[in-house]
Amino acid sequence: MPFDQIIRLAVLVIFSMNAVLVVGLVLLKSVHRHRMQTHNARRQRYVGLLSRHLSYENCTDPITEQMAEDPAFLDALIDMRNAITGDEVATLRRIVNRHGVIERQVRRLDSGLLLGRRLRAAVALAEIGDETAADALMRHLDDREPEIRIQAARGLGRIRWTPAIDQIVSRFSGEIPWVRARFSDTLVGYGTRATAPLLAYVRVNHRFETKGPTLALRTIGQIQDDQAVVPLLEILDKSSELEIRMATIEALGEIANPEAEPALTRILGSPEWQLRAKAATALGGLGDPVAIPGLLSSMRDVNWWVRRSAAAALARLPDGIEALYETLDDEDRYARDAAAEALADAGELVSARRRIDTGESDTEPLLMHMESLEHMESLEHMESLEHMENGVPS
């Protein structure tokens, strides 16, 4: 066979295969679309069916075993669980238990095969949030798949299964960062019930490692339990690890209890600039004007980030804005710059112009800072318009 005929034949075969692939892809998308449409239609019918059962105690509309095994029915259950509260939750739980929904999902989760199917079961158990799944979810806190471990913890948190708190906390040290962060989210949902186990974990482990205890401290801060302040101050006093002390200061700032103010003010004199900056930010979170003198001193700190943090903290305090205006006349140029930046961030440009017009104070550093920011914004705006004219996304 001549070479040119071989080439033409090869091209024809390639085009034919591409055509078959395109047709196959179109057919697959069409089938998938049809399946999703029918799935969603069944799902809506099941939502209506479940709504009638929740509304009328003696509803006689049947829920068959075939329906209960339909994935669309499971989605409808999840939709209803996320939409109801109070007594309706108990009614839905009876429907779930009557038709073996939880047992079926637990079997799929335990099967050890087909990750997608197991993950769907874990998500379903987490969303439904039924106490009968607690033992299975506890087992799967050690599942080989990270996402299933996350869903197991989420489900336990949703049903507020308190025996799980210690189990979740104890896994902080050995977990990968992504799972550890999601475990933290779950513990925040437990509220103050998680405070004591988290504090105990930090006390035991902060001398040996930092990642787990640091996240535990930040979790305590998100819970915002005033009862944690005294133990946190003890940890702050005893720990020598920089990351632990920084996370403790962050937690105290999140809790925002005035009892922490003296300790945080002392830390403004720490040799470590990271601690000084964290303490300044935390004092701003406390909202107590008693911190103003210490923060004003930190405006002259040798470290620029400490100065910036102190200025930003002052902007959050009662009478702090006035203190920043007074700092604009400070002999320390760096303190003046930090004050101007904080006032600009606080939206004080109009007030600054008024002060100049009335001769109340010299706010020229603030106006210069604002003019610099406005110039940068103008340049960014012009660049954005140029991108749009050229059809380039900004």
Using the predicted structure, report yes or no on whether residue 151 has a pLDDT greater than 90: yes
Using the predicted structure, report yes or no on whether residue 392 has a pLDDT greater than 50: no
Using the predicted structure, report yes or no on whether residue 376 has a pLDDT greater than 70: no
Across all residues in the chain, what is the average pLDDT?
Answer: 87
Sequence-ordered list of residues with C-beta below 8 angstroms from that of 253, at least 6 positions apart, any chain:
221, 260, 264, 278, 281, 282, 283, 284, 285, 286
| Average pLDDT of the segment spanning 37-55 | 91
Chain segment 162-184, per-residue pLDDT in tens: 999 999 999 998 899 999 999 99
Compute the distance between CA of residue 310 and CA of residue 297 in angstroms, rounded to an integer: 9
Chain segment 266-313, per-residue pLDDT in tens: 999 999 999 999 999 999 999 999 999 999 999 999 999 999 999 999
Using the predicted structure, report yes or no on whether residue 386 has a pLDDT greater than 70: no
Spatial contact of 166 and 197, defined as CB atoms under 8 Å apart = yes
Q: pLDDT band at 383, cuts 50/70/90?
A: low
Q: Of the candidates 131, 132, 153, which has an alpha carbon nearest to the alpha carbon of residue 141?
A: 153
Percent of the chain exceeding pLDDT 90 equals 55
CA dihedral 286, 291, 292, 298 (to 10 degrees): -100
More confident residue, 5 or 377: 5
| Average pLDDT of the segment spanning 217-239 | 95
Question: Which pTM does this prediction carry?
Answer: 0.78
Chain segment 249-267, per-residue pLDDT in tens: 999 999 999 999 999 999 9
| Average pLDDT of the segment spanning 339-344 | 86
| Average pLDDT of the segment spanning 211-230 | 95
pLDDT for position 394: 42
